[in-house]
Structure 1
């Protein structure tokens, strides 16, 4: 295909592989059918891979049927197409009276050289994109994704919701497939070489997209009711299985504000590109830059692919998968805060030794207090890293547990809340150069107490509701291992907290400061705390 050739020609510019053996190129642009092993092996690492690994299983985690795998392969193709295409923007220049093809050949362009029926067809395409944009934009004056009122459900209503929930992945797939065709047409050579044929295909594609979005619109109305002002439903829905508000509220957000919002923005970028190519009688009002317009279109297509993948994950992921969606990001942030803390301690220690600088250095007591925060930082980071390792999470955890939505939300937000408190630690320490050290010490301990409370609740929920669902592997008692690990972790965190709360003794009795900071009673005896050094 021309698209494949063009992307290979420009791949060197973007540092990409150019061999036909590369599965992304092979399956993304040549349209070769995907078998099960190719589907899973050909994906890059990250969220795309995770979603498609799940596509190999049914909603209970069991191996998928042949039909399900065929549908999975089609969705994988969507991700394989849109991921590389976002990196393959051709070099395009434009100027007065000129237009560039994807091969970079400048063709003279005038009104007489372009047939009027091309532009009339282009007008219909632009009009179609604008109609879809106005009809499905989630932030328009008329909300196109109205949510039904939450209430007590009859057995028939529950069955209807479950049927719609099971159908929604295929509705998302029916949206993704025509999107592939649309993007390939718009960035391919046919739009320049044979506009009429391209426009006919695009008009048919618009019709398919309209039908797919209408199905998703109807499904969202049935599946995702509007939450009640009261929190009672979130605190009493442990029996609702896949229909808990935690899953459905996030699903609504991902489908409407990520997937469908990016879809309508693709429509917007599509008709702008057509206008800039002067294939419509509607003139583009801003300065023309076809290269930039193409890049914007492909960026939106990439975000659409990410949105549809995330939405799928919230349909098929286990509850423990879902609460961890933000853990990796927050763990990286905790890594950065730990580096900041170590840097602060080193700088403060150097200033304390060298008093030639004009500013008053922190006291030895505050430096010791700062050191006592290191285990808390490390243990906080370790909690999220260890429990999100694939060792626990890849063992086919069930789709739902007995956790309520408010408890699931608590676990989901726990990593961000811990990071916010840790970030406040650093702000308080930086204030120590000019503030009351005793007051700062009290504030640090209050923050640490809040972190301790978060972990106490989170570890309890995981111990009671998650660990019992982790199956043993090859005779190894994984449940026993995680129970023991959580107990050990709690013991070590309690020890770290105890040393931190002893810190005020240093400010009340400066004589307790050790001449050798390494022997201070505030330095934790972490001979057995190798747990804190795990990565």
Structure 2
């Protein structure tokens, strides 16, 4: 393993002969190659059960908050920054041209020493992660951890998920690093052919950047509030909803050939600086073919012309998708500055998970809606109407759950601005009002769509 590297013999202080020097270089390259391979196996969470078998999770004593916070601080302020610097240094040392030209062992020795340092850092991170997988001993189940703040199951699982991705990239870096070292022994001709074919140096650079980005992401995640984590998940899914909206626009008007600027939704925030606080305007979701960009090659695929009744049906679905997008965009833009100093809500991990998944669940239903809209003219009308009705109705419980959780657990954490001191909380009222108006519009839009479905079902085939 890597820790055994430094037990190998070192050349004496006297200058070795060229032949001995070649042997030393070859030997050290072999140690480095094997060191990378060993670390890849040791820290690949996806291909072994090290975490599940770790003795550290067999402890029976409760995992107290101070111990957990101490571990988080060590991870955030020491281990991750150190690891980032070590990986960057490693990448700078793995320059194949320099390593091939260097007839000394100095750079190779530096790599060997750095391998040991990386192994030590990774070992500490792994030991910390092993404690929280699947969750620390003594910590309640995800349904009953409302008051545990940073000891919630969602906190552990979110961190574990991100560290697993980090380790995946690190192990990929080890693979390409080992292959880069292995190629050093090739003849110049074979070396050039191999590097053109596999470009391990390029992959080392790529994964170095990915690792640094992943470390920055984990660091930001540790600083952010629970609701900010939910917002991050929503942001990812909103892009998918945008794509569905663009495709439906293409269905309605296949002649659109160039992107046009997306409309500005009103009331994107809840503060006075954002204007028209707490108000949802029907103009935000009115049916307009020129509001949404249609870009990307996949949107240029040939689409069979829909019948006039099918186009009208597709038009009636537009407000549903636009309101869905508006819901998540609006709530994703409630900045941290609008909240009190509380980093944690009183939601359980299960409730937080439901909120995080909601945008993805809505996006999946909208995908199903879009897919069926494409087929309305060719499939059995009764069957199509039944599926589309059920799909739209399935949207309601997801949004209802989101609204309830936000009103119960997020709204109370919002700050009262100085000009609102006379009221209980103007920000609370504004967000509640917006949610109520949005819900009324959404109910109206779904009812209109279901009515359009029945009209379509009565239209001549």
Among candidates 348, 363, 370, match of residue 426 of structure 1: 370
Is the contact between residue 276 and residue 290 of structure 1 (CA under 8 Å) also seen in structure 2? no
Query: Unpaired segments of 5 or more residues in structure 1?
Result: 1-110, 349-358, 512-535
Establish whether residue 322 from structure 1 lines up as the match of residue 229 from structure 2: yes
Aligned to 1:528: none
1:207 aligns to 2:116 (yes or no): yes
Superimposed CA distance per residue, residues 134-191 of structure 1 (whole angstroms, 9 cap, x where no aligned partner):
222223445256566599863x644322322232212222222211111111138653
Q: How many angstroms apart in 2 are the aligned matches of 1:362 and 1:129?
A: 61
- Match of 2:82? 174
Alignment: residue pair count: 382
Closer, same or farther in 2 for the Cα pair 1:151/1:430, shift >3 Å?
farther
Report whether the alignment pairs 1:486 with 2:435. yes
Equivalent runs, 1:14-413 vs 2, <5 Å: 115-144=22-51, 146=53, 154=62, 157-169=64-76, 170-187=78-95, 190-194=98-102, 196-226=105-135, 233-255=141-163, 257-278=164-185, 287-289=194-196, 292-346=199-253, 362=307, 364=309, 366-389=310-333, 391-395=334-338, 398-413=342-357
Q: Render the CA deviation track for 1:385-434: whole Å, top value 9, x for unaligned.
A: 11112x43444663211011111111111111111111111111111121
Q: TM-score, normalised by structure 2?
A: 0.74
Do the aligned partners of 1:418 and 1:451 also contact (CA within 8 Å) in 2?
A: yes
SS of alignment partner, residue 475 of structure 1: helix
Structure 2: gaps of 5 or more residues: 1-17, 256-303, 421-425
Q: Quick one: structure 1 residues 145 and 151, their matched pair in 2 at CA, closer, same or farther if it must change by over 3 Å?
A: closer
Q: Indicate if the aligned counterparts of 2:230 and 2:352 stay in contact, CA closer than 8 A.
A: yes
**CA distance in structure 1 between the partners assigned to 2:314 and 2:369 by the alignment:** 9
RMSD of aligned alpha carbons: 3.3
Higher relative contact order (CA 8 A, sep 6+): 2
Question: How big is each residue's C-alpha offset from its partner over 1:314-362, in whole Å with a ceiling of 9 and x where there is no partner?
Answer: 32221111112332232111111112112222359xxxxxxxxxx9953
Is the aligned partner of 1:498 residue 2:447? Answer: yes
Q: What residue is the counterpart of 2:415 in the other structure? A: 471
- The change in CA–CA distance for 1:374 and 1:125 in structure 2 (over 3 A counts) is same
In structure 2, relative to structure 1, the CA distance for the partners of 1:149 and 1:207 (3 Å cut) is closer
Structure 1 pair 190/448, CA: closer, same or farther in 2 (3 Å)? Answer: same
Cα distance in 1, alignment partners of residues 116 and 64 from structure 2? 30
Cα separation, 2, equivalents of 1:159 and 1:330: 35
Q: TM-score, normalised by structure 1?
A: 0.64
Paired residues of 1:330 and 1:415 also in contact (CA < 8 A): yes
